[in-house]
């Protein structure tokens, strides 16, 4: 993998290929957030994307480039939820089968969505080793093609299209912020930014309880560690060599955020902007509320990665076992 493998032309071709299938998600602003951060903030709302997250971009990008015979055999992936939904819908849109490996800790809202798109679900233990073992077993049994959540140039190019759209709408941004897990979104965001002159700086945002990306950049090598106990279920994966190379070369750094800061960021966005974001998205908003001086810049772009969150949400990221006495149920309509 080289940084030139995903050229500007390749990214633009990916965007054209995806356009018939995707929503052009809005870029919203909030005067209360601007005041709190002390600068202008522009939020790319991938929580409004089909499936409720940016992941459909990468999944469709990969499936649309499969040879017809491979596509006909179906696709398989492992995911904590958002990529699973994306692959399931992409497969349905393109008329093929999808087999999805979900950890047993995946939020129920994401599991229901995957099933609703018609994919076949295999549940495994919440470890990367278990996910990969179950995925390989499905590949061996079905002949399906693996759509990796981030270790794939086609997926990274798809994720880059969110930042391409944001920078097309607001070309004068100083800094772009995006959450990081396995690195597909952040790598794609950095590639999109690097194709512009002048290039905005790119900053990753990660939970302190799952800081493997931060530790990897600090060490200069990939640090693999078990998924941390963060409520941001979408930010528990580790780098691969492909995403690490891009992030190490093009991303300025990673800001760590606490669980409490993510909760406050979700509350702030929900209350002030009246839109729903999930904890993974909140990781990219929290630095603006609590450490804006670390981020710098005057005009900031934020990728709100998704809005698939189970209600009611506890500090553990899971619904409570029972409602508190006197609590009213939350509508899911």
Predicted TM-score of the model (pTM): 0.90
State the pLDDT at residue 3: 52
> What's the whole-number mean pLDDT along residues 265-285?
97
Catalytic residue among 55, 61, 194, 216: 55
Residue 274 among the catalytic residues: no
Counting residues of the chain whose pLDDT is more than 90, the rounded percentage is: 80
Residue 314: what pLDDT? 52
| Dist CA 86 CA 90 (whole Å) | 6
- The answer on pLDDT for 321 being more than 80 is no
Candidates 156, 107, 41, 103; CA nearest to 278 is 107
Assess whether 80 carries a catalytic annotation: yes
Q: How many CA atoms lie within 13 A of 78 on its CB side?
A: 24
Alpha-carbon Rg for the chain in angstroms? 19
Strands (DSSP E) contained in the chain are 27-28, 40-45, 75-78, 98-103, 120-124, 145-146, 175-179, 201-207, 253-257, 299-304
pLDDT at position 109, please?
82
Check: CB of residue 254 under 8 Å from CB of residue 283.
Answer: no
Measured between alpha carbons, how far is 230 from 264 in angstroms, rounded to an integer? 15
Whether the per-residue pLDDT at 304 is higher than 70: the answer is yes
Which residue in this structure is represented by tokens 């009246």? 274
Look at residue 44 in the predicted model and tell me its pLDDT. 98
- Whether the per-residue pLDDT at 163 is higher than 80: the answer is yes
CATH 3.40.50.1100-classified regions of the chain? 3-53+156-304, 55-146
From the list 80, 194, 280, 305, the catalytic residue is 80
SS3 content of the chain, % helix, strand, coil (to 5): 50, 15, 35
Compute the mean pLDDT over every residue in the chain, rounded to the nearest whole number. Answer: 91
Positive or negative torsion for Cα 119, 179, 168, 288? positive
| Confidence check: pLDDT of 1 > 50 | no
8 A C-beta contact, residue 276 and residue 270: yes
Predicted confidence (pLDDT) per residue in 246-260, tens digit: 999 999 999 999 999
pLDDT score for 127: 83
Distance of alpha carbon 87 from the chain centroid: 13
Greater pLDDT, 107 or 167: 167
- The CATH number given to 3-53+156-304 is 3.40.50.1100
| CA of residue 165 relative to chain centroid, distance | 16
User: What CATH fold (topology level) applies to the domain 55-146?
Assistant: Rossmann fold (3.40.50)
Q: Cα 282 to chain center, whole Å?
A: 11
Tokens matching residue 41: 């903030």
């Amino acid at each position: 993998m080289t940084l030139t493998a995903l050229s500007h032309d390749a990214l633009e071709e990916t965007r054209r290929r995806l356009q018939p299938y995707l929503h052009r998600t809005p870029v919203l602003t909030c005067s209360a957030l601007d005041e709190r951060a002390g600068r202008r903030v522009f939020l790319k709302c991938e929580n409004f994307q089909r499936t409720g997250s940016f992941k459909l971009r990468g999944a469709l990008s990969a499936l649309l480039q499969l040879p017809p015979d491979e596509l006909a055999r179906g696709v398989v992936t492992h995911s904590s939820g958002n990529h699973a939904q994306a692959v399931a819908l992409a497969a349905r849109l393109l008329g093929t089968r999808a087999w999805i490996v979900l950890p047993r800790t995946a939020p129920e809202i994401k599991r229901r969505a995957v099933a609703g798109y018609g994919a076949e679900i295999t549940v495994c233990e919440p470890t990367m080793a278990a996910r990969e073992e179950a995925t390989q077993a499905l590949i061996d049994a079905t002949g399906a093609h693996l759509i990796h959540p981030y270790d794939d140039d086609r997926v990274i190019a798809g994720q880059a299209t969110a930042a391409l759209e944001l920078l097309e709408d607001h070309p004068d941004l100083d800094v772009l912020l995006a959450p990081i897990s396995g690195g597909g979104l952040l790598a794609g965001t950095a590639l999109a930014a690097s194709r512009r002159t002048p290039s905005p700086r790119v900053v990753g945002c990660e939970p302190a309880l799952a800081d493997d990306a931060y530790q990897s950049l600090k060490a200069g090598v990939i640090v693999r560690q078990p998924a941390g106990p963060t409520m941001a279920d979408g930010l528990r994966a580790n780098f691969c060599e492909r995403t690490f190379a891009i992030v190490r070369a093009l991303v300025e750094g990673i800001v760590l955020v606490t669980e409490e800061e993510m909760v406050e960021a979700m509350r702030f966005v929900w209350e002030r902007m009246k839109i729903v974001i999930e904890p993974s998205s909140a990781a990219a908003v929290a630095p603006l509320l609590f450490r804006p001086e670390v981020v710098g810049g005057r005009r900031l772009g934020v990728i709100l990665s998704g809005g698939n969150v189970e209600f009611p949400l506890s500090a553990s990221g899971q619904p409570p076992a029972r409602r508190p006495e006197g609590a009213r149920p939350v509508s899911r309509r």
